[in-house]
């Protein structure tokens, strides 16, 4: 899965929200950092809600999760560490009778 498509959709969605004046991301040492300048009159609570809504829209229909951690306030810009990732648990039975088979997990196999 190409995460750049998800990131582009995520950033475009953020930039369309009224609570956000501008948003962009930059990778530093392989870690994606999100830089968000809020619109006047909007604070960190509105930014957090906007992040969750835009991330949910970008991940819709994909088996992805996201993790967002506030890092710092750099002048008027909020900096977050944000990443999209694929869950590390098995999502299908491979037929090799593995010990951690999803069929053996009572909550893992749904019809």
pLDDT in tens, the chain (111 residues): 678 889 999 999 999 999 999 999 999 998 999 999 999 999 889 999 999 999 999 999 888 889 999 999 989 999 999 999 887 766 678 888 887 777 776 665 454
CB-based burial label for 38 (10 Å; 0-12, 13-18, 19+): buried
Q: What is the pTM of this model?
A: 0.74
- Joined together, the tokens standing for residue 96 give 């090799």
Domains of the chain and any CATH numbers: 3-85 (3.30.980)
- Joined together, the tokens standing for residue 30 give 């392989």
């Amino acid at each position: 899965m190409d995460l750049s498509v998800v990131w582009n959709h995520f950033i475009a969605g953020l930039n369309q929200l009224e609570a956000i004046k501008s948003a962009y991301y930059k990778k530093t040492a392989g870690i994606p950092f999100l830089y968000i300048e809020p619109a006047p009159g909007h604070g960190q609570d509105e930014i957090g809600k906007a992040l969750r809504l835009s991330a949910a829209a970008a991940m819709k229909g994909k088996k992805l999760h996201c993790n967002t951690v506030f890092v710092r306030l750099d002048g008027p810009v909020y900096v977050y560490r944000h990443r999209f990732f694929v869950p590390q648990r098995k999502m299908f039975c491979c037929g090799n009778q593995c010990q951690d088979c999803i069929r053996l997990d009572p909550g893992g196999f749904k019809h």
